[in-house]
């Protein structure tokens, strides 16, 4: 099954999309990667969804990526003795470590690391920013605040501390247990929530190794101060606009989104734009025009993927939401201005680039000059394909790899159609296999050209050093073995 677009779709599974037939419909509608949100559900729920996806992959013969999204360190207030309280603007309100139920004057905040990072003048945001408190005095176990924006506060609502670098790990005890399960099941990607600094990525890498790719969710303002270093250590990034939009003024989020996408493209790391993309389709069969434009903007900017959250996990129209996103992407990519925008934002190879970078940059130029029908990348680690995808060539990228886990991971990358094949032994066999796969998968017709990118010696990661242009011959009487 070949997708007729370059940008990919990530669909979240949940209560509305847990049955085999619904998951199949999401896949057929265009979902390339499926996200499992470990903030919700039990281990048996996630295990069952993994099994259903792997079964679907076997039935369809197309690699399917699975992303395990860890909850991360979510800060929450405690409970209230008499139910929800209504905080009035100008009133005093205290937060402390006392576990006793709260009232109109105080509440428990069982996170000592928050008090360690606070200073007078800081602001606290409660319940996704609906309430705003200003810190007037604070110590090792308390914060005396003044209510700036009031509202109703109830049990276990979330707390955000914008502008503060909190001395907490991005992996809680729950996350470590969920991570162990995700790796046991064979997750292709692990998404880290509330990343603040490069050390958070290094900590996760020490646990994950190369068993899964790491997606950093960029939703903390503190992460933006070290954006390049964080993205460089990760394998992919997500513009998580939910919490980012809570901790930052809404008007700043579009520019930050573009900065993150641009940084990821320069570093050759897949980037996902997420949160509220087709939010109205949770309850309606069609999106608003603004939502359609939001998806289109991410595609025009060159994002590798766009993501559905509640739309596919809990909405009334999960498959329709995927189909709508698929149609928006195709419409954008058919627009002549799309290619102009992609070319204008191309950074090219810089001084100090590797041989692999230069080969992939040359491939992009060859595709443009020769009207090459497809780029065929041989890869054992996936890095060759990611370098080729960074260049955003005009031709689709056909990834050939002997490793199933690499093919699955590449389901997230822009323009990449991945196939698992047997190893090749020499350049002639490589060329023959590349041409046959491009023809059989519908990427090229007899008489057209394909660009073959590989590394010598074969099978060794990080050796991309070969670009070969080959013509597609008519299909032989006996098909070439893969």
HEC-encoded secondary structure of 9-69: EEEEECHHHCCHHHHHHHHHHCCCEEEEECCCCCHHHHHHHHHHHHHHHHHHCCCCEEEEE
Q: In whole angstroms, what is the distance from residue 144 CA to residue 153 CA?
A: 17
Spatial neighbors of 315 by CB under 8 A, at least 6 apart, are: 16, 281, 282, 283, 321
Rounded to 10 deg, the angle between the 43-60 and 20-29 helix axes is 50
Per-chain mean pLDDT for the chain: 94
pTM for this prediction: 0.92
The residues assigned a catalytic role are 35, 76, 217, 275
pLDDT of residue 463: 77
- Section 456-470 average pLDDT: 81
pLDDT in tens, 185-197: 999 999 999 999 9
Domain 355-471 is found in CATH 3.40.1380.20? yes
User: Per-residue pLDDT averaged across 281-310, rounded?
Assistant: 97
Distance of CA 223 to the CA centre of its chain: 16
Query: Which CATH superfamily, name and number, covers 85-160?
Result: PK beta-barrel domain-like (2.40.33.10)
The pLDDT value given to residue 465? 87
pLDDT at 478 over 60: no
Pairwise CA distance, residues 169 & 379, whole Å: 34
Map residue 2 onto helix, strand or coil. Answer: coil
CATH 3.20.20.60 intervals, the chain = 8-73+170-332
Instruction: Write the pLDDT tens digit of every residue in 110-167.
Output: 999 999 999 999 999 999 899 999 999 999 999 999 999 999 999 999 999 987 889 9
Report yes or no: 450 and 472 within 8 Å, Cβ to Cβ. Answer: yes
What number of other Cβ atoms are within 10 A of residue 447's Cβ? 10
- Backbone φ and ψ for 134, nearest 5 degrees, come out as -105, 130
Contacts of 333 (CB under 8 A, 6+ apart): 5, 6, 7, 299
Q: What band does 330 get if pLDDT is binned at 50, 70 and 90? A: very high
Please give the C-alpha separations between residue 358 and each of 202, 365, 368, 417, 439, in angstroms, as whole numbers. Answer: 28, 11, 16, 22, 27
Let me know: does 477 contact 432? Beta carbons within 8 Å. Answer: no
pLDDT at 55: 98
Residue 427 pLDDT class (50, 70, 90 cuts): confident
CATH fold group of domain 8-73+170-332? TIM Barrel (3.20.20)
Residue 252 reports pLDDT greater than 90: yes
Q: Tell me the per-residue pLDDT of 341-393, one tens digit each, with 9 for 90 and over.
A: 999 888 766 656 889 899 999 999 999 999 999 999 999 899 999 999 999 99
Boundaries of CATH 3.40.1380.20 in the chain?
Answer: 355-471
Angle at 196 between CA 190 and CA 202, to 5 degrees: 55
Tell which residue, 131, 124, 97, 136, has the closest CA to residue 113: 97
Q: What are phi and psi of 101, to 5 degrees?
A: -55, 145
What number of other Cβ atoms are within 10 A of residue 442's Cβ? Answer: 12
Report the side by side order of strands in the sheet with 416-420: 416-420, 397-401, 374-378, 449-455, 464-471
Q: For residue 133, report the phi and psi dihedrals to the nearest 5 degrees.
A: -120, 145
Locate the DSSP E strands across 379-448. 397-401, 416-420
* pLDDT tens-digit series, residues 48-70: 999 999 999 999 999 999 999 99
Beta carbons of 199 and 113 less than 8 angstroms apart: no
Question: Residues of CATH 2.40.33.10 domain(s) within the chain?
Answer: 85-160
Residue 257 pLDDT: 97
pLDDT of the residue at 474: 81
């Amino acid at each position: 099954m070949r997708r007729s677009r370059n940008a990919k779709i990530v669909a979240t599974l949940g209560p509305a999309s847990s049955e085999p037939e619904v998951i199949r419909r999401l896949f057929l509608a265009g979902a390339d990667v499926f996200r499992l949100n470990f903030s919700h559900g039990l281990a048996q729920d996630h295990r069952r969804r993994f099994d259903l996806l792997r079964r679907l992959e076997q039935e369809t013969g197309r690699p399917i990526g699975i992303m395990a999204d860890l909850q991360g360190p979510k800060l929450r207030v405690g409970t209230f003795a008499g139910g929800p309280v209504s905080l009035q603007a100008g009133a005093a309100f205290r937060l402390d470590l006392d576990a006793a139920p709260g009232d109109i004057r105080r509440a428990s905040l069982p996170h000592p690391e928050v008090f360690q990072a606070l200073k007078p003048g800081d602001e606290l945001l409660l319940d996704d920013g609906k309430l705003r408190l200003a810190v007037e005095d604070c110590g090792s176990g308390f914060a005396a605040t003044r209510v700036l924006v009031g509202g109703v506060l109830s049990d276990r609502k979330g707390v955000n501390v914008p502008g503060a670098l909190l001395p907490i790990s991005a992996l809680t005890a729950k996350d470590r247990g969920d991570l162990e399960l995700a790796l046991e099941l064979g997750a292709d990607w692990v998404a880290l929530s509330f990343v603040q600094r490069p050390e958070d990525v290094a900590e996760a890498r020490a646990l994950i190794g190369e068993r899964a790719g790491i997606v950093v969710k960029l939703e903390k303002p503190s992460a933006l101060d070290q954006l390049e270093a964080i993205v460089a250590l990760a394998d992919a990034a997500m513009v998580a606009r939910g919490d980012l939009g809570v901790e930052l003024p809404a008007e700043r989020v579009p520019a930050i989104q573009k900065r993150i996408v641009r940084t990821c493209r320069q570093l050759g790391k897949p980037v996902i734009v997420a949160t509220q993309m087709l939010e109205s389709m949770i309850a309606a069969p069609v999106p608003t025009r603004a939502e359609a434009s939001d998806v289109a903007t991410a595609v025009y900017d060159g994002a590798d993927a766009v993501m559905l959250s509640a739309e596919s996990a809990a909405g009334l129209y999960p498959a329709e939401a995927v189909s709508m996103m698929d149609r928006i992407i195709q419409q954008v990519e058919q627009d002549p201005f799309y290619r102009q925008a992609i070319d204008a934002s191309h950074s090219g190879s810089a001084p100090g680039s590797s041989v692999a970078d230069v080969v992939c940059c040359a491939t992009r130029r060859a595709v443009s000059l020769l009207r090459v029908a497809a780029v065929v990348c041989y890869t054992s680690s996936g890095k060759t394909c990611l370098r080729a995808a960074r260049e955003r060539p005009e031709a689709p990228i056909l990834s050939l790899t002997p490793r199933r886990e690499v093919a699955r991971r590449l389901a997230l990358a822009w323009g990449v159609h991945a196939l698992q094949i047997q190893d090749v032994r020499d350049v002639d066999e490589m060329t023959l296999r590349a041409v046959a796969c491009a023809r059989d998968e519908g990427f090229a017709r007899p008489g057209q050209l394909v660009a073959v990118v590989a590394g010598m010696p074969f099978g060794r990661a990080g050796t991309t050093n070969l670009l070969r242009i080959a013509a597609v011959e008519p299909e032989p009487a006996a098909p070439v073995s893969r």
